[in-house]
Amino acid sequence: MSVKAEKYGLLYSTHHDQLNGAQDRKSSRECMQLFTKQEEKAIVQWCNHLHDWGFQPKITLLNQMAEHLIQKHAGQQTLGKHWLKRFLDRNPELASRVSSRLDRQPALASNPAVLRDYFKKVSLLVFLFSFIMC
């Protein structure tokens, strides 16, 4: 076993393969990806711009954008079943920004009809409570 490999906790075969020019797993699979690094970077920037403008990028919108891009340069090719999961694994900073659906509570909190109904119920409860306490 190589002394350098032992010193850094590497397997001898890994050290030997790297010295002989072998690619790591991530680099060797890049050629199988639908998008280039630059295209994926552009998708990430687009999601970040949406987020900065106050829009939460949704999974369906992200898939539509990717489908549009893939149709532009690959023709008949489509996204794979696990494309989104792998894309988010490669770009973990997007995982917290991309959502599958709108959170219902903030949406309801800005609806005037829901707010009116809420305050009617609260005022009724206050009235009933004061009536019971008398």
111-123 per-position pLDDT tens digit: 788 888 888 888 8
- Is 99 in a helix, a strand, or coil? strand
Do 46 and 53 form a contact (C-beta atoms < 8 A)?
Answer: no
pTM: 0.52
Which residue ranges make up each domain of the chain? 1-32, 33-102, 103-134
- Is 23 in a helix, a strand, or coil? coil
What pLDDT does residue 1 have?
47
67-91 per-position pLDDT tens digit: 888 887 767 677 888 888 888 888 8
